[in-house]
């Protein structure tokens, strides 16, 4: 069960992009609260601003106006070093296209956030093994991404996102490049991890049925605005 | 990110685009090789020249005279007449010589001994010049091209003949080695004024006073010919050039042969009978000790001078020469560094998405910058090491080629290229520094990449 403690609070957040002469408002005066332990799905069509909102909350981008507080800390006020630390210590990320580095083995990919966090080597190998076991890829640790299936790659990316034991997991269309059966497996794994580790998950998707089955809450975006919020029955599984 | 992790990631990244990075590294290596080859040539020639000069005995010598002989800046005004009180000047005598010999870093102190003699060989008589050769000249190159051997000991009753003179003795000069010659010379014996006054015969007393208190006695000395030398072993100030028969200086001194400046010498001694020297040459351990010895001698109250200034000028010339060579060779390294810029910019383009992933995983701008810096530095380091090896090979090949040419010309081989450890180390450091500078722009550009845009890049 999600706790009621607010983890993320977005207040009147806007994000503008300039495309030549045109100003595009990807996120428009959006306010949203996310509680600790919640599984929130950001739903919307292409160009609705859901990925932009995710990037802002993940500390990859800065809002043009407004504030995003995470555990009381305003991300917009952090310098680039502070944002990097936030991404390293608080956030885990999973992408639609997996983004495993092709030159590295699965094990090395998963180890990467620990290298950046300067975790010592013995601790690293223990945590990498643990993360790979959690996503059931212990046997594929020496394989390169090109030797893995799409589902395995996404599970590997999930292990990489989890290895730093983040408080929040951001998933940007995690099933977008997978067939529906594999996509479902990934989401089942996400729920399982959430249940075990109690982390907050924020997932961007445009597949409403999946969002309804796995999320606690759905926030619907359109033209950069929050147009609807739906609390889901948490029992809706598998 | 820790340095070791940074290094591992950098080497891994370099290995991935192995051909491109190897070519860039090779470019650095060629630049470094040309730098090393040029500078090793400069250093080699400088070492060669300074070795030759040091061996010539001109640059490790201090020449000492008594102050009364000079009117220069170190002197005491115009030369005094002999009536001037000699106590005002320190005599350049045996005491002074021992004082000089006791100074630190002094190898040898010797006077110039040169006298006329008659050389008898197989019943014939030849007039010539005899010179005393200091023991320290064994270590110089002066007697390198000797037929036979150098003096077997500092007190050996042996002589080395100059080749032209040897030809007068026998057309087959080589057969002379080991043969005996007889020197006929005039021995000088100083008589003190006390001895003159004790002379009972008033006529003899008058004669001795008239002759300045010196007796001349004809003497003979048998010597074995140790060797024959083609060229004049050393010319120059305080050297022993111009001689035709050379004796160990200790043997020459024991002969007490009358020399051209004996009368003056006698006057210097104030008629006390104590011999003084017109000049003494002090040989020091290393040319760098020359100034220190020169100062010490001046403090003792004598005139001292050396040819160190000439060697300083030589060093300056070589520094300019090396800089000139280095500048040209650096151009090659500059071109190579442009290769590094190009390679890294290509890498950024290819690895744009990877940079985005790294940033998403928590890499700071500094981490990304350091990673590209490390890659540039690694290319510099590998290129530097390889380049030094290549440059050394080029230098060795030049020495080899020169040796063959010199041998064809019947000249002794010389090592014209020399790579000292400091040249190797500083060139590698320079290559790394140049590579890091080359990496400055690409690394900065990579660090500034917006992670969202980088992740979107296909």
Do both B43 and B142 map to the same domain?
no
**Position A99 in a domain:** yes
**Position A238 in a domain:** no
- Which residue in chain B has the smallest CA separation from A170? B360
Please count the structural domains in chain B: 3
The reply to whether B455 touches chain A by the CB within 8 Å rule is yes
Domain's final residue, options B275, B297, B331: B275
Other beta carbons less than 10 A from residue B100's beta carbon: 23
Do both B295 and B444 map to the same domain?
no
Task: Give the model's pLDDT for residue B86.
Answer: 45
Average pLDDT in chain B: 80
Do both B126 and B147 map to the same domain?
yes
Q: What is the CATH number of the domain that holds B99?
A: 3.30.70
Choice between B65 and B278, residue whose per-residue pLDDT is larger: B65
A116 to B16: CB separation less than 8 angstroms, yes or no? no
Of all helices (H) and strands (E), which one includes residue A84?
A: helix A80-89
Do both B423 and B344 map to the same domain?
yes
Do both B50 and B78 map to the same domain?
no
B362 to A88: CB separation less than 8 angstroms, yes or no? yes
Do both B251 and B284 map to the same domain?
no
Q: What is the CATH number of the domain that holds A119?
A: 3.40.50.300
**Position A1 in a domain:** no
A93 to B364: CB separation less than 8 angstroms, yes or no? no
Do both B160 and B74 map to the same domain?
no
**Position A135 in a domain:** yes
Task: Give the model's pLDDT for residue A44.
Answer: 92
- Which residue in chain B has the smallest CA separation from A162? B361
Kindly report, residue by residue over B148-189, the tens digit of the pLDDT. 888 888 888 898 888 888 888 888 888 888 888 998 888 877
pLDDT above 80 for B375: yes
Nearest to A87 among B5, B9, B362 (CB): B362
Do both B180 and B135 map to the same domain?
yes
To the nearest 10 degrees (0 to 180), the angle between helices B421-448 and B308-350 is 30
B363 to A84: CB separation less than 8 angstroms, yes or no? yes
What is the average pLDDT across B109-115?
83
**Position A182 in a domain:** yes
Residues A214, A234: Cα–Cα separation, whole Å:
8
Do both B153 and B73 map to the same domain?
no
What is the average pLDDT across B77-84?
45
Nearest to A116 among B13, B362, B451 (CB): B362
Range in A10-24, A74-88, B406-420 with the lowest mean pLDDT: B406-420
Do both B378 and B283 map to the same domain?
no
Residue A97, min C-alpha distance to chain B (Å): 10
Which domain, by its residues, includes A33?
Answer: 6-231
pLDDT above 60 for B210: no
Which tokens go with B222?
Answer: 């048998």
Kindly report, residue by residue over A63-84, the tens digit of the pLDDT. 999 999 999 899 988 999 999 9
Kindly report, residue by residue over B305-330, the tens digit of the pLDDT. 887 766 677 778 888 888 888 888 78
B2 to A118: CB separation less than 8 angstroms, yes or no? yes
Please count the structural domains in chain A: 1
Chain B residues inside the 8 Å CB shell of A61:
450-452
Which domain, by its residues, includes B221?
Answer: 113-275
Query: Of the ranges A164-173, B10-19, B78-87, B125-134, which is most confident?
Result: A164-173
Percent of all residues in chain A with a pLDDT value above 90, rounded to a whole number: 66
Do both B165 and B264 map to the same domain?
yes
A87 to B2: CB separation less than 8 angstroms, yes or no? no
Do both B371 and B429 map to the same domain?
yes
A84 to B362: CB separation less than 8 angstroms, yes or no? yes
């Amino acid at each position: 069960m999600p706790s009621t403690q607010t983890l993320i609070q977005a207040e009147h957040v806007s994000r503008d992009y300039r495309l030549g002469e045109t100003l595009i408002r990807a996120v428009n005066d959006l306010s949203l609260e996310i509680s600790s332990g919640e599984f929130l799905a950001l739903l919307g069509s292409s160009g609705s601003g859901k990925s932009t909102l995710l990037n802002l909350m993940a500390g990859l981008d800065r809002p043009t106006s407004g504030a995003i507080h995470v555990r009381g800390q305003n991300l917009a006020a952090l310098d680039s070093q502070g944002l990097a630390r936030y991404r390293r210590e608080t956030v885990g990320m999973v992408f639609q296209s997996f983004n495993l580095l092709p030159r590295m083995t699965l094990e090395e990919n998963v180890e990467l956030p620990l290298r950046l966090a300067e975790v010592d080597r013995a601790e690293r190998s223990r945590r990498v093994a643990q993360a790979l076991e959690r996503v059931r890829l212990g046997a594929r640790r020496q394989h390169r991404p090109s030797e893995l299936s799409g589902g395995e790659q996404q599970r590997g990316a999930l292990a990489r996102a989890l290895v730093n034991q983040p408080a929040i997991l951001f998933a940007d269309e995690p099933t977008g490049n997978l067939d529906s059966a594999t996509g479902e497996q990934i989401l089942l794994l996400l729920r399982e991890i959430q249940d075990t580790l109690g982390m907050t998950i924020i997932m961007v998707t445009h597949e409403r049925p999946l969002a309804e089955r796995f999320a606690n809450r759905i926030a619907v975006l359109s033209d950069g605005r929050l147009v609807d919020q739906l609390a889901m029955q948490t029992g809706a599984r598998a | 990110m820790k340095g070791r992790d940074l290094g591992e990631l950098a080497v891994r990244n370099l290995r991935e685009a192995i051909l491109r990075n190897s070519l860039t590294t090779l470019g650095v290596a060629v630049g470094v090789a040309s730098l090393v080859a040029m500078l090793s040539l400069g250093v080699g020639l400088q070492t060669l020249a300074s070795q030759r000069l040091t061996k010539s005995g001109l640059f490790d010598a201090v020449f000492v005279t008594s102050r009364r002989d000079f009117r220069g800046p170190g002197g005491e005004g115009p030369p005094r007449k002999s009536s001037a009180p000699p106590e005002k000047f320190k005599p350049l005598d045996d005491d002074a010589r021992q004082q000089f010999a006791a100074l630190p870093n002094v190898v040898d102190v010797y006077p110039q001994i040169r006298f006329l003699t008659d050389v008898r060989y197989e019943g014939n008589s030849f007039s010539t010049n005899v010179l005393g050769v200091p023991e320290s000249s064994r270590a110089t190159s002066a007697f390198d091209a000797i037929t036979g051997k150098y003096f077997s000991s500092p007190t050996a009753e042996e002589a080395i003949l100059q080749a032209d003179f040897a030809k007068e003795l026998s057309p087959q000069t080589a057969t002379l080695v080991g043969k005996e010659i007889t020197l006929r010379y005039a021995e000088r014996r100083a008589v003190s004024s006390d001895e003159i006054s004790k002379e009972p015969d008033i006529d003899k007393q008058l004669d001795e006073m008239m002759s300045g208190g010196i007796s001349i006695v004809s003497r003979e000395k048998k010597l074995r010919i140790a060797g024959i030398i083609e060229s004049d072993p050393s010319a120059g100030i305080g050297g022993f050039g111009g001689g035709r028969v050379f004796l160990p200086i200790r043997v020459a001194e024991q002969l007490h042969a009358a020399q051209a400046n004996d009368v003056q010498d006698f006057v210097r001694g104030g008629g006390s009978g104590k011999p003084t020297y017109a000049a003494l040459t002090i040989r020091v351990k290393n040319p760098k000790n020359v100034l220190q010895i020169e100062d010490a001698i001046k403090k003792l109250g004598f005139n001292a001078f050396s040819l160190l200034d000439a060697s300083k000028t030589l060093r300056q010339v070589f520094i300019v020469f090396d800089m000139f060579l280095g500048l040209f060779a650096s151009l090659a390294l500059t071109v190579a560094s442009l290769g590094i810029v190009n390679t890294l910019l290509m890498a950024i383009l290819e690895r744009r998405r990877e940079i985005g992933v790294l940033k998403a995983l928590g890499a700071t701008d500094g981490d990304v910058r350091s990673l590209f810096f490390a890659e540039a530095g690694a290319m510099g380091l590998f290129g530097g090491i390889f380049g030094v090896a290549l440059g050394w090979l080029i230098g060795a090949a030049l020495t080899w080629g020169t040796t063959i040419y010199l041998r064809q010309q019947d000249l002794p081989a010389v090592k014209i290229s020399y790579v000292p450890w400091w040249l190797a180390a500083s060139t590698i450091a320079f290559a790394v520094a140049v590579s890091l500078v080359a990496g400055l722009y690409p690394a900065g550009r990579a660090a500034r990449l917006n992670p969202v845009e980088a992740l979107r890049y296909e």
